[in-house]
Structures are given as C-alpha cells and as structure tokens.
Amino acid sequence: MPYHVLPIVLVVVLTLGCERAPVADVPDTAVTSDQASFRVVEVAGDLEHPWAMAFLPDGDLLITERPGRLRILREGVLDPTPIEGVPEVYASGQGGLLDIALDPDFATNRLVYLSYAAEGEGGAGTRVARARLGEGRLEDVEVIFEGMTAGGGRHFGSRLGFDPDGYLFVTLGERGQDERAQALGDLAGKVVRLHPDGSVPADNPFAGRESAAPEVYSWGHRNPQGLAVHPETGGVWVVEHGPRGGDEVNLVEAGVNYGWPVITHGRAYSGLPMGEGSEKEGMAQPLHYWVPSISPSGMAFYQGDAFPQWQGDLFVGALSGQLLARLELDGEQVVEEERLLDGVLGRIRDVRVGPDGYLYLLTDYADGALLRLEPA
C-alpha cells in the first residue's frame, strides 16, 4: 500500500471501526499453541463496540459499550436492559464509554469507576466518575477527575487500575497533538495517580512543582489503551499505540518520561522518520515494542488454575493486529512472544482473567462479542 494512502486508511479504521468482523466464525475445534490447547466459546453476542469488563465478587460481569451503555451478565446470560445512571458520554470517533474498574473495597462499598469521553469547553476530554452500583442502576454518581479537552475524537486513552496501595491510575492519550505529551502542565499523554476520591497524593512526583500538573505520575505517552497491575510486584504496566510501528509495553514509574514524540521505534504515517530517533538520555525505553503496529488494547497478567502453563504471562489484545499476544516474562523482561488467534476473531479490545481461571476477550465491532478461552 502506498505510504500516502496509509493515514486515510488508519483514520477510517480507528474512527469508525468495522461494522461486522471480516473474519471467520469462532473456531469449533481446539486451538493448539506453544504451551496449551484451548477452545474459544462465545459467552454473549449483540454487544455494540464493547470496551471493557469487570468481574463482580459474585461472578457477575459488568461490560461497557462505547456508545454509552453499561451491561451486566448474570449467570452467563446478558441482561437486555442496560444499567441506568451512566453519565452522558461523547460517543464519537474513539470516544465514548471506555473503561470500568471496581473499588478495592467493592465487596463492602459497591463503588465502581468509569472512564469516558465527555464534552467540555474547547472540545472533549477524558473523565472519570465514581458511583455506587445499585440494583439495575448507578447511584450517587460523581465526577472525580477531568482531563483537558481538545477537538476531534482521537486518543482518549483510557484505562483504570488500582495498585496494591489503593492508588487509582488513569491513562490519558495525547489527543493526537504530539507535543502535549511533553508538557508537564498538560494532562494529555500522561498517566495520572489519584486517591480514590480524585484528590492528588502529596507524594506524586510533580506535586508542588510550578507549571506542572500535580496529578501527573509519568509522561511522554502517546495513547495508552491497556493497563494491568502485576499480581506479585504491584507494578503498573501499560501498553500504548505508536504511530506506524512502535507500539510499546511500559512499566510505569514515578516521574519517568517515556519519550513520545521525541523518541519512538515507529515512523510517521507518511513513512518518514519521527522525532530524534529511538533513544535519548533521560527518556525510558519500552520493555517490548512492536514493528509493525498491532494497536494493543486491553491486557492482563494470567493467574489461575485453568492454564498452569501460562502462569505469570502477560496477554495483550490487538485491534489492527487482530490477535492475542502472549508475552512470556523473566522478571521485567519480555523473553518470548506468541501470537494466538491471529486473524481469527478480529479486533480484540479487552482481555481479563475470570474467577474461573479462563481468559475472557471482548471483540470491538458493532456486533461485538464476549468470548472465553477454556482448556481443550
């Protein structure tokens, strides 16, 4: 494909998505991988661009749909009636209702957190709301964080996660305006750290620094659409989109600059080089990167009994790559990558490990699905 055509094609894919998956049906035979054999089971269909999921302590599952609906799966059956009380979202381009996370004390306080794109002065930005999950509705909804706004519908992020100390991490894209990722006074292109009520921890790395936003925990990010907390170390890992190549896996550390757009392992959509190269003193290197791009999205560390061979591996869904990447780790090093379901299921938006030890996937289409990987 000529380079000058590529930017137009990417805008169409990222903004509109595919109305129906241009791929084969769910395979009805076992899939054999390097370390395990599994089958793919469709749990629920008729989901409109599902974006994220969260398992409740009783085994029920909450699922967000990008147009602005929150659904619940009870005892394996998708409730046809959406949960009421979801904040109004900016459902345009990549914007809409995005991630969902449970409060660490959900079993007692029933609090859930939603990230979403919302209109504000000057365009749209990423917000985070906290609410209490009642019977069929969200109650006591309050906005606890508002990112800065921009025009257009690109690069909102946005994933949520709690570390073992109870801090809330939020990933924010640079809204397609590269230079914002390097501006410490701007929340775009950052990972922020908050208390659960949205207040800023006093020990955030830039708290108290003049001209820096106190919420910022790390900077120099492009569009982080995946976040997972390591089950043993408590480290916060993210995956983010590069331009043409250069998608990254990063371990987020306080005050660290991850380089975008000064350094990248990718190129501009025109095919020309970007920035100052792939390395620069004072800017972190990714733990792993992809060339060409796979457009990584949801991610999860595997812990469970169903697939003992995968214990500790990191699984990453891919949108344009239409695959599930299994990354084998040695500490903080990625030592092997295996590509599963390559071109079989289409765009994989989210990946989670269920309480049953199975891997659960969401496919990003107008008729998206919730799928489960079970041992064959």
Question: Which residues belong to the active site?
Answer: 155
Nearest Cα to Cα of residue 222 among 236, 242, 193: 242
Please report the beta strands in 164-275, taking only residues with DSSP state E, as ranges in sequence order. 168-172, 190-194, 216-219, 224-229, 236-240, 247-252
Q: Quick count: other Cβ atoms within 10 Å of Cβ 50? A: 24
Q: State the Rg of the chain over Cα.
A: 19
3-state DSSP assignment of residue 132: strand
Q: Which stretches within the chain are classed as H helix?
A: 6-16, 106-109
Peptide bond preceding 214: is omega within 30 degrees of 0, i.e. cis? no
Instruction: Identify the bridge partners of residue 118 per DSSP, sorted by sequence position.
Output: 125
Do the beta carbons of residue 219 and residue 190 sit within 8 Å?
yes
User: How far lies 21's CA from each of 86, 110, 191, 251, 320, in Å?
Assistant: 27, 35, 32, 32, 12
Is the Cβ–Cβ distance between 340 and 3 less than 8 Å? Answer: no
